[in-house]
A and B are shown apart, each in its own frame.
Chain A
Amino acid sequence: MDGRQIPPTAQLFLGLDAVAMDVVAQSASLRRLTRGEELIDQGEEARACFIVLEGRFKVAQLTPEGHQVVLHYVGPGEMLAVAAIFSKTGYPGTATAVQDSAVLEWDRKVMTPLMERFPRIALNALETIGSRFQALQARYRELATERVERRIARAVLRLARQAGKRVKEGVLIDFPVSRQDIAEMTGATLHTVSRTLSAWESEGLIEGGRQRIIIRNPHGLVQIAEELHD
């Protein structure tokens, strides 16, 4: 079990008993990645799936024209590429470590029998896939209908919800995120993201540094995201 202990928060294995957890852990292998390293490549045959032990991954798709679109970020306890191992078209995106990270890896040939033996794993996977699908639907709706400032506010709040840390000045997004990343999450241009974040900075809503965002006025940002008016 050395280094292969499954964290109790791992969504994929919630509700499994100790015996099942042991079987699952025995068939995993541990992999460490340094910041910037790619775990999986878009289009490559999906031969394995993962759960994140520590660190964080950016999952992004590249268009034929070279535009990158960030699908989501995946952090500790979350699964990665579990849906992909059931698709015939390979990994849908590239997952890059945005911090030094560690994952547990299961080969597709191992995970499928595990799911047959412990159906709870498949149900857990379905639950996560369902909620990610809903999140993508919400973003599609935002793209189709909402002003860009609102989309950017929602993206920043989404990052904070997943990786926020309360600090003295406000809520820190606790991993490196650039303006380009936010542009790729929102379908906005880098110029628009820069202009918007700079405006928010001068209004005291956020504080930005290189690859670092602190939300100084969470309520103010929610107001923009939700179009609330006091």
Chain B
Amino acid sequence: MIGCDLTVDEVMRRWPPTMAVFVRHKLNCVGCDMAPFETIADVAKTYGLALDALLADLNAAAEPRETQQ
């Protein structure tokens, strides 16, 4: 389960399919030097996205089977 306090780097390393979510939202997180330091909450704030929606997208990408059930 991806929470708002995880860093972007950790999320992408543990759940590689989430990279597609960052790209789809036009976020420059993939390959960013600051990914080890910024949390998902920081990303939502920086880009003016709804945190809940972003987390839902990331979790859907990370655990596709769980959300389909």
* Pairwise interchain contact A160-B28, C-beta atoms closer than 8 A: no
* Pairwise interchain contact B28-A228, C-beta atoms closer than 8 A: yes
Query: Any chain A CB within 8 A of the CB of B68?
Result: no
Question: Which residues of B are found within 8 Å of A157, using beta-carbon distances?
Answer: 33-34
Chain A contact-residue range equals 10 to 19
* Pairwise interchain contact B33-A219, C-beta atoms closer than 8 A: no
Question: Which residues of A are found within 8 Å of B7, using beta-carbon distances?
Answer: 166
- CB within 8 A of A222: which of B28, B36, B42? B28
> Mostly helix, strand, loop or mixed at chain B's interface?
loop
CB distance from B42 to the nearest CB of A (A): 8
How many A-B residue pairs have C-beta atoms within 8 angstroms? Tell me.
33
* Pairwise interchain contact B34-A219, C-beta atoms closer than 8 A: yes
Number of interface residues of B (CB under 8 A): 11
* Pairwise interchain contact B38-A219, C-beta atoms closer than 8 A: yes
In whole angstroms, what is the CA distance A54 to B28 when docked?
A: 33
Interface residue ranges of B34-69 to A (CB < 8 Å): 34, 36-38, 42, 46-47
Residue numbers of A with Cβ under 8 A of B are: 157-158, 160-161, 164, 166, 171, 215, 218-219, 221-222, 225-226, 228, 230
